[in-house]
Structure 1
Amino acid sequence: MAVVRDPEATKARIFAAATAEFAAHGISGARIDRIAREAKANKQLIYAYFGDKAELFSHVLQRALLDLACANPVDADDPDGYIDRLMEYHRAHPELLRLLLWEGLEYGTAEIPHEAERRASYEAKAGAFAAAQEKGTVERILPPQDLVFMISALAGWPSAVPQFRRLLVGGTEADEARLRESVRTAARRLTRWDEGDEGGRGRV
């Protein structure tokens, strides 16, 4: 009996293996041979599906970002809940932050593959916060694009540098809960004025 091949299942195995490989080794250090072996896929098939190693990395990162967006869509009307869910997602999926850090090391400020699509995705998030500012559910304390950047940093940094978090903040469950509440408080301060801070309204 002939073996029935399932291209989608093969691609899924390649994505899983490539995600782990790139998260551990970055673009330069990753090896297609290891990805093929882990995915139980032919090396040439990987090139046929995804192109070269840099293109495969780009596909993997785009998929990881899409998974984040689907699991945790922007909710500008509830910044506390949004940043809390972001923190939880990054804790459960640290590979996304590792991929982003490797991308930064590889490209720096140079243009990245599929930059227009990435920029559009980020601008859509900023647009959601801009709309919330128009409605008044988020205060005009910061420009919306800066706000998205800062919320992303607050939510992601604890999982991006767990050793720093442990050394400075502590490593117990109580320490983690305290940090999470501090991050929520910071998000509130970025999106809502404190009582009595009327003088600063309308700065943006």
Structure 2
Amino acid sequence: MSVRDPEATKARIFEAATAEFAAYGIAGARVDRIAREAKANKQLIYAYFGNKAELFAQVLEKALVDIAVSTPVDAENIDDWIDRLLDYHAAHPHVLRLLFWEGLEYGTDGIPHEEERRTHYDRKTAAFATAQAKGVISDAIPPQDLLFMMVALAGWSTAVPQMRRILVGGTDDDGARLRSSIREAARRLTQQ
């Protein structure tokens, strides 16, 4: 008889749910497929995570915490921060897919846990505001707008790889050139 390990089961469910939601979104995801991939009972998913929308919210929350921990904002060293964001998105494209699905499915009506996320982003915006107040970066663009633009610059090529391939090219040299261009654009947005 095998010993049950609830934490291992939760981890398998979470991993399977992340892949499922990244591929199909909230509406298209199927709890049956998540359970099958996780080698878990479907009822355990509901017991551990509530409904499918709550499971999605938890998956996205974990993804956002992971990227925040891995790539803390460094408004005083834009090149380094942009490089870390680009590298992170290349290694973890599911994060942007999850965000796109969230936007498609919830639109502008508000999302679950929006206030908690706003608080998180307020801290990131504060890093830009502090760098602006110190005169390290330009204050020509409000800090919240600047953060939004930087995140978009760093994520767009991963979010729409087909457009990157069509517009920029698909070789390693093309990728290196694009990275250099993104860094230059970020510098210009922040330079004094």
Whether TM exceeds 0.5 here: the answer is: yes
| Structure 1 position 37, deviation (Å) | 0.6
Equivalent AA in structure 2 for residue 25 of structure 1: Y
> What CA distance in whole angstroms lies between the structure 1 residues aligned with 2:136 and 2:7?
43
Please identify the structure whose Cα radius of gyration is greater.
1
SS of 1:125 mapped into structure 2? helix
Which residue does the alignment assign to 2:138? 139
Matched, 1:125 2:117: no
The aligned residue for residue 23 of structure 2 is: 24
Q: Which residue of 1 aligns with 2:181?
A: 182
Contact 1:141 1:192 in 2 (8 A): no
Structure 2, unaligned stretches of length 5 or more? none
CA distance in 2, matches of 1:113, 1:183: 32
Q: Distance in 2 between matches of 1:62 and 1:94?
A: 15
Q: Deviations over 1:37-59 (max 9, x none)?
A: 10111111110111111110000
Question: Which amino acid is the alignment partner of residue 92 of structure 1?
Answer: A
Letter aligned with residue 165 of structure 2 = R
Aligned to 1:63: 62
Is 1:191 aligned to residue 190 of structure 2?
Answer: yes
TM, length-normalised to structure 1: 0.92
Instruction: Give the superposition deviation at 1:4.
Output: 2.3
After TM superposition, the structure 1 = structure 2 runs for residues 74-85 of structure 1, keeping only pairs within 5 Å, are: 74-85=73-84
Runs of 4+ in 1 over 6 A off after TM superposition: none
Unaligned runs of 5+ in 1: 194-204
Task: Give the structure 1 partner of residue 147 of structure 2.
Answer: 148
Question: What code does the residue aligned with 2:153 have?
Answer: L
User: 1:14, 1:162 → 2: CA distance?
Assistant: 28
CA displacement at 1:9 relative to structure 2:
1.2
Matched residue type, 1:179: L
Equivalent position of 1:88 in the other structure: 87
The residue number in structure 2 matching 1:72 is: 71
Question: How many residue pairs were aligned?
Answer: 192
Counterparts of 2:62 and 2:6 in 1: how far apart (Å)?
17
In 1, distance between residues paired with 2:6 and 2:73?
32
- Percent identity, aligned pairs only? 69
Q: What is the deviation of 1:144?
A: 0.4
TM-score (structure 2 length as normaliser):
0.98
1:12 positional shift: 1.0
Give, as a single letter, the amino acid of the residue that structure 2 aligns with 1:144. Answer: P
